[in-house]
Amino acid sequence: SHYFDANATTPLCPEARAAWLEATDQHWHNPSSPSRASARVHVLLENARAELAALFGATAESVVFNSGATEGNRDVLAYWRRISPESRVIVSAIEHPSVLENARANCVGGQLVILPVEKSGCVSMKSLVELLEKRGGGLVSLMAANNETGVIQPWQEAIEVCRQYRATLHIDATQWVGKEALEGLASADFVTACGHKFGGPKGTGFLLVSSGLSGFCGQRGGAQENDHRAGTENYPSIASMVAALQASEAQRVGVQADNGDARDRFEALLSKAISDLKIWGAGEARLSNTSSLCLPVGENTRWVRRLDQRGFLVSTGSACATGKDGPSHVLAAMGVTAEEARRTIRISALPSTNWEAWNSLAAALVELLPGMDGGDGNPLVIKL
C-alpha cells in the first residue's frame, strides 16, 4: 500500500532501527548508575546530545530529551506561567491541541490571546506586531509549519519581532524538523519537536531551551537532563532519534525537491481532472510533502475508507483531532466552512514517496469521484 499520512507519523528508518537495536542490546544500563558500563552510556548520551545540538547550531546544554512534542509544548506553557504568572500568552489559532489546550489551562481571563490567520493559512504577523506594540512582552507560541495544511509560518519574522518587543518565543517545530532547514530555529527561546515525524521512534522528542531560561523544569524528581527533566533517560530511543535526524538531514535537500515536484504535479493534474477542487494554502509556501484537498463531493471519512480499501493511506486531517467533535479548528480559522472541511482530506508523503505513488493516488481519486456522492452503502468492517 501507499502511505500518505506521514504528518501523523513515519516508520522507523533503517539508521534509527540499527541505532536502537545496538543501544538496547549493548547500552541499556542506567546512565546515572556508578558502574563503568553506566558511565559509558552516560558518555554516549552526552554525545547524542552534542550531535543533536550541532544539527541546530545550538549548545548541548540547551537540549532536553523528553517523550515528545506534546510534553514539550505542555512544559513550556506550564513553565512560563510559573515564572511569569501575570503575563500574557499569545498563541495562533492554528496551533496543535497540545499548545492550545495547555495555553487555555494555564491562563485566566484575558491572559490568553489567540492570533488570527489569513485565509491562506498563514498566521497574521500584522496582528502579532500590533499586539506587541500595544502591550509588549509575554510568551508567544507559534508553530513552524502547520500539520494539516503544511503552510509554513513566519517564524523567522517572529524571532525578530519578539526580540524587538522583548517577548519570549516558543516554536513548535514538530512538522518542520526533518523536512526543512534547521538553521535559525535555535534562536527562539524554546523549540519543540519529536522523533517519530522524521523516521525516529515514537514517544521520544526534545526541547531546545535557550540559556537565559536555566530554571526550566518539565518534570521534578531526579537530576537527569541537567535538572530540566527527571526520569531515567531512554538512551536507545534517543540514539535512534538522533540517527534518524542525521539521516534525514543528509538527504533532505534532494527529498524536498523531489517531494515538492511530485506534489505540485499531483495537484496540477487533479485540478485539471476535478473541477471545483480546492487546495488549502496553495498560494503559500508549504511543506513539500503536504497537500490538503477539498473535494467537490463526499465526506472525508468516506474518502479515507475508500482510499484505504484501494491501498492508499490518507487522513481526514490531524490524527490528534480524531475522536473530537466538529471540523478542524485549523481550517475553521482560515475561514473554511464546516461543510468544506468535511470534504477535506490531508495527504502527506514520506521522504521515499515517488511520483508513481502520487500519480496512482491521483488516478484513484479521479476514479472514485463519481461514486462519492450520496450515502455509504458499504461500510468497512475492521476485523481484529
Site for ligand PMP, rule CB under 6 A: 68-70, 96, 98, 143, 147, 172, 174-175, 194, 196, 318, 320
Distance of CA 8 to the CA centre of its chain: 8
C-beta closer to ligand PMP: residue 76 or 295? 76
SS3 track for 45-69: HHHHHHHHHHHHCCCHHHEEEECCH
Closest separation in Å from C-beta 174 to ligand PMP: 4
Q: What minimum distance in Å lies between the beta carbon of 192 and ligand PMP?
A: 7
Distance CA 179, CA 146 (A): 12
CA dist 185 and 215 (Å) reads: 21
Helix, strand, or coil here: 229?
strand
Catalytic residue among 107, 122, 217, 320: 320
User: CA triplet 293, 298, 304: central angle to 5 degrees?
Assistant: 65
Helix (H) or strand (E) holding 209: strand 205-209
Gap between the Cα atoms of 102 and 87, Å rounded: 15
Beta strands 205-209; 190-194: pairing state: antiparallel
Catalytic residue at 320? Answer: yes
Taking the C-alpha atoms of residue 10 and residue 338, their distance in angstroms, rounded to an integer, is: 29
Among all residues, which ones are annotated catalytic? 320
